[in-house]
Structure 1
Amino acid sequence: MLLYMSNSARETQSTPLHSVSVAGAVVREDGRLLAIRRADNGTWELPGGVLELAESPEDGVMREVWEETGIRVEVDELTGVYKNTVRGVVALVFRCKPSGGAERTSEESTAVAWLTPEQISDRMAEVYAVRLLDALDGNGPHVRSHDGKHLIAAR
């Protein structure tokens, strides 16, 4: 059951409301990364979405990647936590490896592609590209904040 609050009700509430999303940084053996072009806004991003209430983060990643791309994955490790300070969304990104399936689009994706790190940087907004690039560097988990468009420098 989802509860909706008016802005005035949110302002009087002492605990901020956040939602949690999960995403898969799916890395193929050749180093290419799985990406989708979103159906709703045409932007390139990594596959993912809102974590369901009774779902573990790992199960959520497997479900979201499968639903949006047709690729089955094995979840390896958490590589980053990213907070959109404007929308109140906390995204957990997990490095994954493909374990089956075949690329296909869905209601949520108009294209599915395996991209090089250079293509990721060219096609994706900074706040999404960094999630995939962070998953490759082996120095995670990273913790970053952004305003929906640009990263916010750590204090």
Structure 2
Amino acid sequence: MKPSQESYVPTFPGVLAVEFKPGEFNSGLRSLKSWNAGETIVPLGGNRISKGPKAYTSVQCGSGPNDHIELNSDLVYINHSCDPNVAFDLSSSDSSKWHLKALNRIEKDEYLTFFYPSTEWDMDQAFRCQCGARNCVGIIKGAKYLLKKDLQTRRFVSPWILELAKAIHNK
């Protein structure tokens, strides 16, 4: 569950900060540093993740419907974009190597965004995207609802999502 502004304690002080805004799902996560493409922004290991059910605060970490982790950190405030600047790299079989990485240059104070279908096959809550990107997919429901070719054009999609898409589109 996301903390309120009153109870907020940063989980990555000096690196990331939540910017609280009124209204549901309007807050965002800003970078307090600049990053180059490919750099690890934060590791996800330790007490920062735990197994959990599929929820709007979880990230899918494998091909099974119950393969979800709760982020247990400020990372739950990373908003969606069809043209994201970060990715949850959970591709290693060793969860201690999971991390959040920059997909392109990120400047200090820039909001972090990721492409939700890059990790989510069938999302807990669908929503209308408002990112305004040229490659916007409109309604965000999960990778299951996108064409395989659309997933292949993204800068980062988790390997199990690509495998699930391949299986469904090769029937």
Q: TM-score range by the shorter chain?
A: under 0.3
More helix by share: 1
Structure with bigger strand share is: 1
What TM-score, normalized to structure 1?
0.27
- By relative contact order (CA 8 Å, sep 6+), the higher-ranking structure is 1
TM-score (norm 2): 0.26
